[in-house]
Structure 1
């Protein structure tokens, strides 16, 4: 399994390569991301926790790591993230439970900088 930091760097590299290919599209997508992620009715922290859950359900390792890091940066706790993973497992079953391991590894790696 790749480290959380390596997956996070791969995600950034891919995003940068797509930006080089089509900066107009990525600029629009980035604007949408920033708008959707900011505090609203739901806090930015809660939105990141939800994004971790959706990333686990979608089985996207890069998204899992990226949003776990952002959730931690917004003050999410290990327990909040793992509870969200447990809820994801209700609908996603065993595969979602196994992808939760990436969340656990990312929490450990990012909290032990």
Structure 2
């Protein structure tokens, strides 16, 4: 597995490249993202936890790292994220369980990064 920083940077780079290719489409997609992610019947934190779970189920390393970091930014705890991963594993079996390791690595890397900055 590539480092979580590399995966995070690759996700941002891909998004930026797609934006350079078709800014109108990415603007619309970004507006949709912001609308869907904000607090509603579900809090933004819970929505990010759900997105981590879906990312694990879909086995998208970039999405796992990106949404795990966002969930942590919104105050999600390690326990909340790992419990979501356990539910994902329940529904997705062994492969989903293995992709949960990326969530764990991202949490650890994010915590180390925050400790350096504080």
Q: Quick one: distance in 1 between partners of 2:106 and 2:2?
A: 10
Write out per-residue CA displacement over residues 56-84 of structure 1, whole angstroms, 9 at most, x where no aligned residue: 00000000000000000000000000000
Note the 1:66-105 alignment, pairs <5 A: 66-105=66-105
Partner residue, 1:38: 38
Partner residue, 1:20: 20
Partner residue, 2:116: none
- Greater length-normalized contact order (CA 8 Å, ≥ 6 residues apart): 1
Q: How far off its partner does 1:5 sit?
A: 1.1
Q: Quick one: distance in 2 between partners of 1:62 and 1:15?
A: 11
Write out per-residue CA displacement over residues 47-105 of structure 1, whole angstroms, 9 at most, x where no aligned residue: 00000000000000000000000000000000000000000001100000000000000
Report runs of 4+ in structure 1 exceeding 2 Å deviation. none
Q: Quick one: distance in 2 between partners of 1:19 and 1:6?
A: 20
Aligned residue pair count: 113
CA RMSD of aligned residues (A): 0.4
Ranges in structure 1 where 5+ consecutive residues have no aligned partner? none
Q: Quick one: distance in 2 between partners of 1:60 and 1:19?
A: 20
TM-score, normalised with respect to structure 2: 0.95
Ranges in structure 2 where 5+ consecutive residues have no aligned partner? 114-118
